[in-house]
Amino acid sequence: MKFDTPATTNPIDNGKVIGHPHDRIDGKLKTTGRAPFAYERNDVVANQAYGVILGAAIAKGSIARIDTRDAEAAPGVLAVVTHKNAGKVGKAKANTVKLMGGPKIDHYDQAIAIVVAESFEQARAASHLIRVNYEAEQGAFDLAAATATAVKPKLGDSDPADSKVGDFESGFAKAAVRLDQTYTTPDQSHSAMEPMATIAAWDGDKLTIWTSNQMIDWARRDLSETFGLPKKNFRVVSAYVGGGFGSKLWIRSDAVMAALGARAAGRPIKVALARPQINNNATHRPATIQRIRIGANRDGAIQAIAHESWSGDQKGGQPETAAMQTRLLYAGADRMTAHRLATLDLPEGNAMRAPGEASGLMALEIAMDELAEALKMDPVQLRIVNDTQVDPENPKRSFSHRNLVGCLKQGAERFGWDRRSAMPGQRREGRWLVGVGMASAFRGNMAMDSGARITVGSDGQVKVETDMTDIGTGSYTVIGQTAAEMLGVPLEKVTVLLGDSDFPKSSGSGGQWGGNSSTAGVYAACMKMRAAIAKKVGASATDVVFENGQVRFQGRSVALGDAVGSAGLTVEDTIEFGKLAKTYAQATFGAHFAEVAVDAATGEIRVRRMSGVFAAGRILNPKTARSQVIGAMTMGLGAALMEESVVDPRYGYFVNHDLAEYHVPTHADVPVQDVLFLDEVDDKSSPMKAKGVGELGICGAAAAIANAVYNACGVRVRNYPLTLDKIVPYLNKA
């Protein structure tokens, strides 16, 4: 089904199942430990051996000599694979560097060997017996230093690296109030609970992997490119994923090394990246340096706005697109944005939850707070004054639906924003300085073609099959709800099977496109099923009503199972997104409010309340959507106060490479989180009229907290995270 004109009234609008806060249909399996994650799939193939990956101990250079003899002779060892005996191992276009290194080393902990043994312990012990001599080269690890040689990266035609409208410099020079500040965000780790893990089994030249991956079809394509075999030779299964956040958009070394190890051992094997390997072996969110200049009139109207962002990556990599939202968020006649990319020899930088906006709004929304202060204006009001209903870079293009102002107003009211003191440091409760802050939330809404297969059995049961993944987001549930709504059955009658490349190709999970896109694919397949059933009962498709497990037409009523006949019916379709995404700017919006307390002596920061109001089209399931948003707000809290992958500038690796040293918020750090979704639909986003929510909640959350810290204690921190060392020295001066 093509989707290229705005959606009209359709069966989803009935809202009997869709839009209701159903519990996750996979919830019991997950909470009782019965949802099998990749490493636990002992049932899928017999005779599994264990693989352990050895990572490079240098960041740049080459392997001069690698001696595996002792490892090969160790007890239980079945195979040791290095670049010397692996055969030809290519690089998928989507991977910036090879997932198996050697002799050339691209980054620290790049996989250089896999040891396969009868037991995990034997494999791990033997991996310590591999002796490697390196020829190390000096790498570039410091972003600030590398910006001197940064270049303009090549990005997509629709979102080029630079944009210019009007004349920024002269507009800025003329503005009554000017802000010019530079902000930094650090490297961050996705830190998903489930490590990258794969079971690999070859059958001749056909490979099946049970793995943890967000994008089944991309994984298949990338395996094909890596091993030089046709895509059809690869089956990828990823039924449950314990968090991805972008770290599993593409295959990682666990998949490639498992395939190599299994081939060498002549056995299926299972491999997981050990927690301390993940941060340097896999990808991270790249650090940024962002300069923002905004010039405004005395009434707050922005005249000129510029956002420049520098980030680094391996050669051939991509920038963190931190200035993108500044093209769309606020009005202003004279504008410019630019992204510059420095070459670094750190591990591969890549997408992490809301790539671009998450980092970009950390900077932009502090800048707006600073501008509001300079204008002596309420920060909420400043954002309202600069709202735009059209793309400010291309005023002929309007937003498909935009209610940022509604989020700001309702958020301010719910939070009690009117009780804020504009002057910092005014509210003291014992040893605590208390303050409030806010920020806008913005995240683009992307749509990806997505297919599904629907089967209705003669027993009236509905089965949905699609290679869509559920990375903890609720895909199983919203897909089930969609099929139930479309075919007029309760959710309990629907079985949802996900994450298998044998099923129709879906949108996969990424960029918060999965919920809207994959359910739209199910919608398309269900429309086809409805037509097929109508034909079967001899009615016209527009005449038939699907309700309460019955098919009603021409005054008659037939049970759904009877209508499809004894053999049942199976149909398949794909939603294909057309020009609406280009004709309209599509995005999701929100407003964050936070209250923090800062210890006047120690600088300890406690977030006391977070409140968010979001506008993201139809909310398919308020319960799973809320979970997404509070998870993302929590991640925003982590970004504000804790998260930072610390680079060792001598050896070029992330020092704090485990969950003991890479700090993320725990329950005790997270306050009450209040979430409201505005009641809206977006008829240009899909027949579901929904948009993404998985990433929106992180966007702006960190800045709201940083702004609240300033309001509490008068210390303006522009370099994330807001750790004590950046607060304490300035506290008494506040």
Decide if 695 is catalytic.
Answer: yes
How far apart are the two ends of the chain, measured CA to CA in Å?
A: 60
Binding mask 205-234 for ligand MOS (x = CB under 6 A): ---------x--------------------
Q: Where are the alpha helices (DSSP H) in 416-549?
A: 475-487, 514-537
Compute CA distances 427 → 128, 411, 567, whole Å.
57, 21, 71
Kindly state the smallest distance separating residue 704's Cβ from ligand MOS, in Å. Answer: 21
| Cα distance between residue 282 and residue 247, in whole Å | 7
Q: Which is nearer to ligand MOS, 358 or 491 (CB)?
A: 358
Beta strands in 56-98 (DSSP E): 61-67, 77-82
Min. distance of Cβ 538 from ligand MOS in angstroms?
46
- Per the residue annotation, which of 465, 643, 644, 695 is the catalytic one? 695
Number of H helices, E strands in the chain: 18, 30
- Residues 449-463, buried b or exposed e (16+ Cβ, 10 A)? bbbbbbbbbbebbbb
Considering the complex, what minimum distance in angstroms separates the CB of residue 220 from ligand MOS? 18
Decide: 433 and 427 in contact? Cβ < 8 Å. Answer: yes
Instruction: Tell the smallest beta-carbon distance from residue 476 to ligand MOS (Å).
Output: 17
Where does this chain touch ligand MOS (CB under 6 A) — which range of 48-56, 238-246, 256-264, 340-348? 238-246
For position 716 contacting ligand MOS by CB under 6 A, the verdict is no
Cβ at position 509, least distance to ligand MOS in Å: 6
Q: Cβ closer to ligand MOS: 287 or 352?
A: 352
**Closest separation in Å from C-beta 692 to ligand MOS:** 10
d(CA 285, CA 185): 10
Beta-carbon contacts of residue 670 (< 8 Å; ≥ 6 apart): 607, 634, 637
Q: Say whether residue 440 binds ligand MOS (CB under 6 A).
A: no
* Shorter beta-carbon distance to ligand MOS: residue 471 or 704: 471
Pure H helices in 488-538: 514-537
Q: Closer to ligand MOS by CB, 207 or 249: give it.
A: 249
Q: If you ran DSSP here, which 8-state letter would residue 148 be given? A: G
Q: Which of 114, 249, 304, 571 binds ligand MOS (CB under 6 A)?
A: 249
Residue 321 or residue 466: which is nearer to ligand MOS going by CB? 321
- Residue 631 is a binding residue for ligand MOS (CB under 6 A): no
Least distance between ligand MOS and beta carbon 157 (Å)? 20
Q: Nearer to ligand MOS by C-beta: 386 or 450?
A: 450
Distance CA 169, CA 163 (A): 14
Nearer to ligand MOS, 353 or 684 (CB): 353
CA distance 297 to 174: 9
Asked if 312 touches ligand MOS (CB under 6 A), the answer is no
Binding mask 150-189 for ligand MOS (x = CB under 6 A): ----------------------------------------
SS3 246: coil
Q: Does 665 bind ligand MOS (CB under 6 A)?
A: no
Q: Are 303 and 171 in contact (CB under 8 A)?
A: yes
* Chain position whose Cβ is nearest to ligand MOS: 246
Inter-residue contact 119 to 269 (CB < 8 Å): no
Question: Minimum distance from CB of 513 to ligand MOS (Å)?
Answer: 8
376/176 Cα distance (integer angstroms):
13
Measured between alpha carbons, how far is 166 from 53 in angstroms, rounded to an integer?
Answer: 53
Question: d(Cα 528, Cα 322) in Å, to the nearest integer?
Answer: 41
CA angle, 203 then 209 then 210, to 5°: 130
Query: What span, in angstroms and rounded, lies between the C-alpha atoms of 339 and 324?
Result: 9
Residues 6+ away with beta carbon under 8 Å from 96: 313, 314, 316, 317, 318, 348, 350
- From the CB of 247, what's the least distance to ligand MOS, in Å? 8
Q: Which of 171, 392, 457, 510 binds ligand MOS (CB under 6 A)?
A: 510
- x-or-dash string of contact with ligand MOS, 372-411, rule CB under 6 A: ----------------------------------------
> Closer to ligand MOS at the Cβ: 71 or 447?
447
Residue 472 lies near ligand MOS (rule: CB under 6 A): no
Within 10 angstroms of residue 648's Cβ, the number of other Cβ atoms is 13
Minimum distance, C-beta of residue 603 to ligand MOS, in the bound complex (Å): 32
Q: Which of 244, 561, 697, 721 binds ligand MOS (CB under 6 A)?
A: 244
Paired with 202 in beta bridges are 207
Nearest distance, CB of residue 282 and ligand MOS, angstroms: 13
**How many residues touch ligand MOS (CB under 6 A)?**
11
Paired tokens of 416: 């009690």
x/- letters, 332..371, toward ligand MOS (CB under 6 A): -------------------xxx-x----------------
Sign of the four-CA dihedral 685, 688, 692, 693: positive
CB of 217 to ligand MOS, least distance (A): 15
Select 349 or 561, whichever has its Cβ closest to ligand MOS.
Answer: 349
Q: Which is nearer to ligand MOS, 81 or 498 (CB)?
A: 498
Phi, psi of 729 (to 5 degrees): -60, -20
Which of 511, 612, 652, 700 is the binder for ligand MOS (CB under 6 A)?
511
Determine, following the binding rule CB under 6 A, whether residue 515 of this chain makes contact with ligand MOS.
no
Per CB under 6 A, 52 contacts ligand MOS:
no
Question: What is the closest distance, in whole angstroms, from the C-beta atom of residue 214 to ligand MOS in the complex?
Answer: 6
Nearer to ligand MOS, 210 or 245 (CB): 245
E-state strands within 525-628: 545-547, 550-553, 556-559, 569-577, 587-599, 605-615
String of DSSP letters for 249-269: SS--HHHHHHHHHHHHHTS-E
Alpha-carbon distance 455 to 126, whole Å? 49
Sorted by sequence, the CB contacts under 8 Å of residue 244 that are 6+ apart come out as 190, 192, 212, 213, 214, 469, 471, 472, 509
Closest to 512 measured CA to CA, from 631, 678, 354, 639:
354
Query: What is the amino acid identity at position 359?
Result: S
* Pick 334 or 467: Cβ nearer ligand MOS: 467
β-pair partners for 450: 575
Q: Which is nearer to ligand MOS, 283 or 686 (CB)?
A: 283
DSSP secondary structure of 643-709 = --PPEETTTTEES--STTTS----GGG--EEEEEE-----TTT-TT-B---TTGGGTTHHHHHHHHH
Contact residues toward ligand MOS (CB under 6 A) are: 214, 244-246, 249, 351-353, 355, 510-511
> Catalytic residue positions?
695
